[in-house]
Amino acid sequence: MSILLTGIGVARGIAIGKAHLLLCEAPEIVEYRLPNDLLEKEVRRFDAALEQARSHLQTIRNHLPISTPADVAAFIDIHLLMLEDSTLSQVPIDLIRDSHCNAEWALKQQRDNLVQVFEAMDDPYLRTRKDDVDQVVNLVQRVLMGKSLGWENGANRLRGLIIVAEELSPADAVFFFHEGIAALITERGGPTSHTAILARSLDLPTIAGMRRARQFIADGDTIILDGRQGVALVDPDARALQHYHQRRQEQRLHFAALIQLRNIPATTRDGRRVRLMANIELPEDIEELNEVGAEGVGLYRTEFLFMNRNTAPDEEEQFAIYQSLVQAMNGRPVTIRTIDLGADKPFAGITLGHIATNPALSLRGIRLCLRTPQLFIPQLRAILRASAFGPVRMALPLITNSAEIIQVRHLLDQVRRDLRHEGHSFDENLSLGGIIEVPAAALTISELAHHLDFFSLGTNDLIQYTLAIDRIDDQVSYLYNPLHPAILRLIYIALRAGIKANIPIAMCGEMAGDSRFTRLLIGMGLQELSMRPISLPEIKQVINTSVYTPLAQLARRVIYARDSSAISVLMEKINANL
């Protein structure tokens, strides 16, 4: 009999394969005593196992896909550092020598000691670091017990299988990926875990948070997995199998076709044009932007220029970067967001000496820019000077009231006078806009509109501030819901006010690049979406197969829907045939 299991879809794609369960992660360890003359041999066996574990992780580190985010790679580096740490590399050796025990037992003793310390910690985040200890220790135990780590033989005995595990380390995920597995299911974890981020960059269909999956799935069961919906059908019947084989085939063709959309504009079937822009963090990202055919830069996050260094980049350095970006875009607009750093985003060279009790509500975004003119003025000058080379729009982060914008306008007037005086050229009509990411700004957009030329909705922060949740906090991350009626109404209020004030409103948050929301957003009236380049072809595909007029009506019904379940029903209608 088929059973349907649900979890959190963290990496899209349909996979069909046989289940391979990873059972007890902690192997059974037995203790035995060694005679004196075998102790040094045991020590050497332990050293060799450490070395093999290190080289295993190193190999995985070298096989990470180029698109792997730096923090995932850092995670593997942490495991390598742990293997180097004398706490794990030397203490067990002392134990072998002192208590004449086998290497596995010595390592287990030390692991228990370490885990005990972590488990006693008050901080929930630090407490879960015991998982890192376990992952590293288990790797060494596997070697000690003569289990192959599999990497070197390339036997691909896992090819086509769907791995079902309690939790995987990112290193395991990379390893399994290279073994050719079809998909992953984990009982723990969520959309922001390292393994989830990695699965997305590997394009490996993955479901996380499928509780007790290993109780319902047996080794060898056939599974159909839909990594977008977060559902797995165990032991499907012939009809379901046929249906999904077909869906999988369609999906493969679909991804291949997407890239060919590059030179086609995004237009609904009834002719409504939507501009698709790219969010970039570094000037290098422009290559990817061109590959997917973005129409401009909708958000350039300049704070990355300020991170990982000891002094802030000066005006000339910033000018050179902005200028080359504007020139490379060759007439397409570049939206430069001024430094969006603050109490929660550290940066080199600047120490405010202020510990915010609540960084998200403290000195950040435009507040920080206005507080640190030594940073802000050089950036304003550099952006203005770059505007002489092509269309530039300047966006201010975290605005909440007009006074902030008036202050920026005053500074800009001063900077313009200085630049003119110094003989620099710039665009006299440079557009100034604001990122709407605080409910206060969304609700008063018509007042802010008197002072600005455009807006962009930053949905990530808008959702966090509106719903009062920190989405990297596992305890409340389940409440992060872009379709919460409050979010939809705020967006709608902002869009309507924008139309009234005749001021364009774009969206640059993650919602803009999530194809589940595209039809709703264009139905609500958005005509400019900015997203990570990788999402762009799919969003374009969705727009080009949509019809605006009925979506506009459905979107209105979503906004006035009674509750979340009514919204879900309407969303299914909106996304029909997608």
Rg (C-alpha) for the chain, rounded Å, is 27
The residues pairing with 185 across neighbouring beta strands, listed in sequence order, are 164, 207
- Cα–Cα distance, 521 to 453 (Å, whole number): 21
Contact 360, 367 (CB under 8 A): no
Residue carrying the six token digits 């079809």: 182
* Closest to other proteins by CB, 279 or 518: 279
Cβ atoms of 423 and 400 closer than 8 Å: no
Widest distance between CA atoms in the chain: 88
CA atoms within 13 A on the CB side of 94: 8
Looking at residue 484, what DSSP letter applies? -
Q: Which is nearer to other proteins, 344 or 572 (CB)?
A: 344
Q: How far is CA 17 from the centre of its chain?
A: 27
Burial class (CB in 10 A: 0-12, 13-18, 19+), 489: middle
Taking residue 217's Cβ as centre, other Cβ atoms within 10 Å add up to 22
421 included as an active-site residue: no
Which stretches of the chain bind other proteins, using CB under 8 A? Answer: 71, 74-75, 77-78, 81-82, 84-88, 114, 117-118, 121-123, 125-126, 129, 132-133, 307-308, 310, 344-348, 351, 355, 359
- Shortest separation between residue 235's beta carbon and other proteins, angstroms: 39
Residue among 172 and 538 whose Cβ is closer to other proteins: 172
Can you point out the beta strands (E) in 142-182? 162-165
CA distance 514 to 137: 38
DSSP sequence for 453-477: SEEEE-HHHHHHHHHT--TT-TTTG
Residue 450 to residue 471: CA distance in whole angstroms: 33
278 and 536 in contact (C-beta within 8 Å)? yes
Name the active-site residue from 56, 79, 194, 369: 194
Tokens matching residue 469: 């949740």
Taking the complex as a whole, how short is the minimal distance between the CB of residue 86 and other proteins, in angstroms? Answer: 6
Of 135 and 387, which has the nearer Cβ to other proteins? 135
Cα distance between residue 336 and residue 550, in whole Å: 35
Q: How far is the CA of 451 from the CAs of 108, 115, 427, 447, 498, in angstroms?
A: 65, 56, 18, 8, 13
Nearer residue to other proteins within complex by CB, 14 or 133: 133
Q: Which residues have CB under 8 Å from 44's CB, separation 6+? A: none
Of the pair 4, 360, the CB lying nearest other proteins is at 360
In the residue annotation, 194 being an active-site residue is answered as: yes
- Per DSSP, what are the bridge partners of residue 277? 530
Q: What are the contacts of 65-71 at 24+ separation with CB within 8 A?
A: 65/201, 65/202, 67/201, 67/534, 68/198, 68/201, 69/197, 69/201, 71/194, 71/197
207 versus 368: smaller Cβ distance to other proteins? 368
Q: State how far the Cα of 80 lies from the Cα of 336, in Å rounded to an integer.
A: 38
Catalytic residue numbers read: 194, 508
